[in-house]
Chain A
Amino acid sequence: MPGQRILAIDIGDSVEFPSTMLQANAVRSLAAGFYRTITRTTGGNPQSGYSRLNWRDTGRVYLRWRVTTVAGNGIMLGVVKTSEATAATYLGNTAASWSYWTLGQVIHGGALTAVTASVSGDYVEMAWDGQTGSLWFGRNGVWFNSGDPANGLNPTYSGVTGALDLAVTIYGQGSAVTLMPDEADCRATCPAGFTPAGILARVASKGFATDPADNPPSVYYDGCIASDGDPEYTREVTCVVWDRGQGARGPLGDIELINIDGALDFWANYDLARMPVRLRIGYEGQLLTAFADAAAALIDRAEDINDERLRLVLADPGARNNVPLAVSMFSATPNTALVNTPAPYVLGNIKWTSPPQSDPANLEYPVHDGVNAGVYEVRDQGVVITPSTGWSFGVRTDAAGIRRLTNPAGRNVVAVRGAATLGLFAQNWDFTVAGGWSGDNPTGWSLGFTEDANNKITFNGGAQFLCNGAGPVVIMERGTGAWGSNPTLGMGKYYWCEIVATIVGGQLEVQTQGPGATDLNQTTIAVMKSSGTLRFGLSCLATTSLRLAINKAAGGNLTVQTFKLWEVALIERLPAVLTELCVTRGRLFAKDLDLAGTIASVDAAFPAKFGFYADQSAVINDLVKAICDSIVGWYWHDRKGQLRVGRLLDPANQQAIAFFDETNIIGPLQRMRDRAPGLSDNVAGRRNWSPHGAGELAGSVLTTSTAGDLQANYLTTKTGVGAFAASYVAAVGRKALETLLTVDADVQSIATLLKVLFAKDRFFYVFTGVMDDTPPATNLLLRSQAFQQSPWLASSVAITDNVALSPLGQYTAATISDSTTLVMGSAYQTMTVPADTTAYTASIYVAKTAGGTSTTFGITLGISGGTAVSATARVDTDTGALLTGAASAKVQDADTYWRVLVSVTNNGTANNTTLRLDVIPAAAGHGSGVDAASAKGTATVWGGQVETGLNASPYIWTTTAAAMAPRSYTLEPSDVVSVATNLTKRFGLATGRNLLLISAKGRFLSNQVDMIAWG
């Protein structure tokens, strides 16, 4: 019997260096249970680069570093902006990093200011005020330059704002440093008003000190969690068909801590909001590393209930994303008209938006706050206008957009491809470098015309195009021959260009090989009329190449400094969209997303594409909810705090990971009809983000079918095929489910899915389940319900899988037929076990029979290789009577099946390692317990299991590997559980059924979970 169950809670940031963000040659190692020590013993002296970890973007935080060893050029430690890529230089030598150098300098932007040097064993202190952007450095309790964080005076640096990473450059080989953010020693030196980073407190339901070999080693968990009530956690999800229009939510619960002796009084001084909390459950005497994660949360607030108790109110870790989408603001120039208003944001492939006019003089219209977005269609009064004559890409420093080359006649809308990620294919030509020129041409480029005195390309701090207005078109091509050979842009791919040029006169044109090469359907796809940076995206409809030209008719004089080209991937599929929203734009880190797990599998099962446009700020969590709603799905944060996604699916044929029946359900099992109030047979997609009024369309458009699209809210509405069950007839014709899907086929898939899911009546099942406290069982038998598959072997029997209803009501039961009178046939499987004295129990379900004719069913469990041992069970399947094996076998009534158990104990002889289970359909004639080879017959079987111990646990389905039954606290929304009770029978279900879990409300100390499941 395991010891007492213990709930252990870590409060605070883990603060450790990930393996993926280390300086070259730097090695991280454990300190106080976390990867907080960085050393570098190779790579020379000095060496640039830095190790970093995602840290904070708000608050007043205090932190200490212990300078373990100063060697050679020492150590730079400090912060770098999260948005700043790791530079090939030392920390502090960029505009976005600030550091203290142990040789006695503080550094920012490469500028050094002398302070006190450190020696091995010193503590370097750091305080950061996220509100004022003040950063203080100090050493051994003395802040540099009379700094006073507590009173906000004399910061070492100011203007340090936004999301920061902690970073360290081990500049001198042999140096080492350790982050020391933890607990009491840090609390003692923390300035008033600041909160120590790291683990602030460790509390538990029963006090214990961790073992020296544990992780973290030798720390104390204060047993102050009040025991007069079992703390609860909640994980639930909701779906658009139940809650259409509601926002995202995520309660978790609260925990009361006893504070009679005032040991936790320090909490009142600290900013605990959003402090991460990790809750683990284990057993007394276990190592902490063996504890299982039960929940991850953030502190919403800490309340002093009275002078003896403190209450921690916990929030879902996703609460960090209850913040507006961080949309950029327009700066003063060149956005003269829109200064300090939010820039628009585009995700995915959308049409149409009405971009704001930011620069009336130059007719500029930004469409996206980032630079990497592309316009592929512009309409004026609903009429498509021609690129390079009616419009071109805008020249902005802070946004992507268009420039109208003619004055708009009326309503101006654009179709846009939104944010993208850069791909591997990249070209970067820097024409400002003299060494990059061969003669008077940039290396690798050729001219598409004959140079003369008035029309030429020369090196002049860049590629200077001169054209007198009468000569040929001045064209520069990559490679040789007409259009050259590079860059070759692939068909169906998507690219970004960035050109920096100075325009003295005329205009720079970017051309592709003929109409139809790009989705802009133009030879000239971009026109640059003023100096600056031109950025644009294009999708190639054919293999093509790009060239730069100056229009001969206009003439002119311009210089191209750089020309960059990337192949990019549009952010429109679920993994990229969630990363963009939650990590790039939100407050989560990449590790907080279950990218490789549920997000990837949902995306693989339904590779939908999403699109979104905002010209004002939206809350990220609401947006994630809208994304999930679009696929009839949901998101939640799992017990480790990772954001996971799931979808409404028919659980009937899914693998159940837990089994509930009379033995482990407490109280009633309640059934409620799913009324699906948000259900509709119509699904709308391809949203029109800027519908036109009839008066805003030109007459030429009004007569075309496009007019309808331009005026519609959604360009696509699809209806599923088939019929809803009677309960859902009211959903027919209801207002369509509105999605962010941008592909017609995806919209159709959702409509079809809803018709399939609700073609039968659906119910919510509400019940409380319990898992036994004992360690979970493992089913050693492989292919536990697929007897035709290896490693099952047939000895004189015929096996047919999936031909009969299982105890769960699915066609997953098999028949095993013995049709020979010569031998006693069986289906058998062997397993390798240790030659010790472990006991094993085999169990299998066999269908009940009637009529007094069925042959005797048997199972035999034996261990051989040394001194063999075995045990048998022989059962009358009509009555369940155990004909042989009373000492070591049992028969349990399992509704339409018997569950037959047999146990055997190994005898410890050498090499007794082959465990074999035989399933025998006809061991003897009806009613006989004496084996007879002559008996012939068929048995219907399901759910074989072999486990250690002398009892059979609830059945665990296996396929290619032994499987372990889950603990109650591992149950998560989207898990499928099997329920088989008398009540499910009463509800008209033959035996039991698989259900999709949508809510799990568990208690930490007991192992009960209140569940709501759907199916």
Chain B
Amino acid sequence: MAGAYFVFKDVVKDSVPSFAHVGTGSSTVVATLPQANLLDRRVAKVCRVNYSGYNTTSEMRHTFTLASSGTVAAVAFVGWNALGLTRPPFQFRVRDSIASPTIDTGWVTESWDAAASQAMTVLFLAGGNNTIASTLICSVRPHTAAGVPGTGTLDIGRVFAGSAIILPNGVKEDWQVTVADSSRVLRSRGQNLYAENLPRYRVGNYRAQAVDQYVAHNDPVSFLAMGYEAGVSGEVLVVPRTSYYGYVQQLGIYGRLAKAPTIQHVGGGYYDVDATVEEGL
């Protein structure tokens, strides 16, 4: 049995992002792909930063000033991508204050283990559903070898911070991540296969077994509450609970609920929940 995080109700979407370079080197936001893109729900619409800096001393800092206080259980950089041939690993960190943070994930190193141009997701836990007042500071820095400068371009599709259903276990391991493909496949007269190459997208089917009634529908942050996000409402992020970020990438899905989760009573105060999330918006 594995655990998982269901993150929804994004709180940064109405905030005002600002950018600062901290430490040695320099970094600037590319004007044609501005920082405002971090608030766009399409993760392909990225914020692009040209950076030049050193390991641990050069920080690209995105600060979000929230319109109102919000509940943050998890923060994710959805779809980050380093361009160029010599991309270093990166370190990520999320805080709500520099001086006296309620939330501070510390620096987390994200080693590059995906193919070029494949967007990655990194998720941080805030240690429960914390209420943060006004600020969310998201930092990234190149993690080059000591003394070696790193220069390049870093894209971030979205910073997503919201409430989360955190299941330490109980998610069936047979959860599916599959690809939906509405292409029409045809055969030639000689039996060759051809397809209308329509955009494909991933679909995740998640089944949580025997979650308690609070997680199912009693708490403000519950599957029932998440159900209200179905259809045209807000986006959700589902990722497995694992220390290996490859699994985050492979099994996590940022998208929308194709339908409200099915919450089925199995006895006592326990429920089974089925949720389907489709990638894309």
Q: Chain A interface (Cβ within 8 Å of chain B)?
A: 4-5, 32, 205-209, 211-212, 216-220, 222-223, 227-228, 230, 260-261, 284-285, 661-667, 770, 772-773, 981-982, 1003, 1005-1008
Q: Smallest Cβ distance from A508 to chain B, in angstroms?
A: 65
The stretch of B126-134, B194-202, B210-218 that contacts the partner chain: B194-202
> Using Cβ atoms and an 8 Å threshold, which residues of chain B touch A206?
44, 199
Q: Which residues of A contact B16 (CB under 8 A)?
A: none
Decide: A207 near B45, CB < 8 A? Known: A212-B50, A219-B33.
yes
Q: Are B44 and A209 neighbours in the complex by a CB distance under 8 Å?
A: yes
Residue-wise interface mask of B (45-78) relative to A, using a CB-CB cutoff of 8 A (1 in contact, 0 not): 1101010000000000000000000000000000
9 contacts between A and B (CB under 8 A): A216-B32, A220-B45, A663-B190, A664-B188, A666-B187, A667-B189, A770-B188, A772-B192, A1003-B196
**Which of B46, B182, B187 touches A209 (beta carbons < 8 Å)?**
B46
Partner of A666, one of B182, B189, B200: B189
- What DSSP secondary structure best describes chain A's contact surface? loop
Give the interface residue-count category, chain B.
Answer: 20 to 34
Q: Is the CB of A223 within 8 A of B42?
A: yes
Q: Cβ of B186 < 8 Å from any Cβ of A?
A: yes
B93 → chain A closest CB, angstroms: 24
Contact across chains for B41 and A261 when beta carbons are under 8 A apart: yes
CB distance from A219 to the nearest CB of B (A): 5
Question: For B46, what are the chain A residues with a Cβ–Cβ distance below 8 Å?
Answer: 209, 220
Bound CA–CA A205/B184 (angstroms): 16
- In the complex, are the beta carbons of B83 and A1008 less than 8 A apart? no
CB-defined contacts of A227 to chain B, threshold 8 Å: 182, 198-199
Whether B189 pairs with A981 at a CB distance below 8 angstroms is: yes
Is there a chain A Cβ closer than 8 Å to B10's Cβ?
Answer: no
The answer to the question of B276 belonging to the interface, with a C-beta cut-off of 8 Å to chain A, is no
- Given the known inter-chain contacts A207-B45, A220-B46, please indicate yes or no for A1007 contacting B188, CB distance below 8 A: no
Closest A residue to B45 by CB, please name it. Answer: A220
Contact of B42 among A222, A661, A772 (CB under 8 A): A222
B262 contacts chain A at the CB level, 8 A cutoff: no
Q: Summarize B's interface: helix, strand, loop or mixed.
A: loop
Kindly state whether residue B169 has any CB partner on chain A within 8 Å.
no
Contact indicator A205/B199 (Cβ below 8 Å): yes
A380 to B229, CA, bound (A): 88
With a cutoff of 8 Å between Cβ atoms, the chain B residues found around residue A662 in the complex are 188-190
Decide: A666 near B194, CB < 8 A? Known: A219-B33, A223-B44, A981-B189: yes
Summed over the interface, the residue pairs from A and B with CB atoms below 8 Å come to a total of: 99
Contact of A664 among B37, B116, B182, B192 (CB under 8 A): B192
Q: What chain A residues lie within 8 Å of B83 (beta carbons)?
A: 211-212
Asked if B30 lies at the interface with its beta carbon under 8 angstroms from chain A, I say: yes
Q: What A residues does B116 contact at CB under 8 A?
A: 285
A4-B199, A5-B197, A207-B42 given; name 10 further pairs at CB < 8 Å.
A4-B200, A205-B198, A209-B44, A212-B48, A223-B199, A662-B188, A665-B188, A770-B192, A772-B192, A1008-B194
Q: How far is the CA of A261 from the CA of B30 in the complex (A)?
A: 24
> Which of B48, B184, B186, B199 is the most central at the interface, judged by chain A CB atoms within 10 Å of its CB?
B199
Q: CB-nearest residue of chain B relative to A182? A: B32
Central interface residue in A206, A217, A218, A662, by most chain B CB within 10 Å: A218
Contact between B194 and A770, CB atoms less than 8 A apart: yes
Which chain B positions have C-beta within 8 A of A667? 189
- Chain B residues within 8 Å of A222, by CB: 42, 45
Residue of A nearest to B30 (CB): A218
CB distance from A857 to the nearest CB of B (A): 24
B197 contact set on A, CB distance < 8 A = 4-5, 773, 1005-1007
Partner of A220 from the list B37, B50, B232 (CB cut-off 8 Å) is: B37
User: Measured between C-beta atoms, what is the minimum distance from B49 to chain A in Å?
Assistant: 11
How many angstroms between the C-alpha atoms of A212 and B44 in the bound complex? 15
Contact (Cβ within 8 A) A209 B155: yes
Q: Is B153 interfacial (CB 8 A cutoff)?
A: yes
Rounded to whole Å, the gap between the CB of B111 and the closest CB of chain A is: 21
Query: Which residue of the partner chain B has the closest CB to A2?
Result: B197
Task: A5 to B42: give the CA distance in the assembly, Å.
Answer: 19
CA distance A473 to B7 in the complex (A): 104
Query: Are the CB atoms of B189 and A218 closer together than 8 Å?
Result: no
Q: Kindly provide the distance from the CB of B176 to the nearest chain A CB, expressed in whole angstroms.
A: 21
CA distance in complex: A589, B155 (Å): 39
Interface residues of B in 170-192 (CB under 8 A from A): 182-184, 186-190, 192
- Set of chain A residues within 8 Å of B50, measured between Cβ atoms: 212
Distance (whole angstroms) from the CB of A977 to the closest CB of chain B: 15
Residues of B within 8 Å of A223, CB to CB, are 42, 44, 199
Q: Please, which residues of chain A bring their CB within 8 A of the CB of B42?
A: 207, 222-223
- The complex places the Cα of A664 from the Cα of B194 at a distance, in Å, of 9
Known pairs A212-B83, A218-B33, A663-B190; A230 contacts B196 (CB<8 A): yes
B281 vs chain A, min Cβ distance (A)? 8
Distance between B218 CB and nearest chain A CB, rounded to angstroms: 32
- Is there a chain A Cβ closer than 8 Å to B117's Cβ? yes
* Beta-carbon contact of A218 and B186 below 8 Å: no
Within 8 A of A (CB), among B200-241: 200, 232
Contact B199 A219 (CB under 8 A): no
Contacts of B30 in A (CB 8 A): 212, 218
* Closest chain A residue, CB of each to CB of B48: A218
Q: Return chain B residues, CB-CB under 8 Å to A260.
A: 232
Could you say which residues of chain B place their CB within 8 Å of the CB of A32? 32
Closest 3 A/B residue pairs (Cβ): A207-B44, A662-B190, A1006-B196
* Min CB–CB distance A485 → chain B (angstroms): 66
Cα A661 to Cα B183 in complex, Å, equals 24
Bound-complex Cα distance A179 to B192 (A): 50
Which A residues are CB-close (under 8 A) to B155? Answer: 209
CA distance A773 to B188 in the complex (A): 14
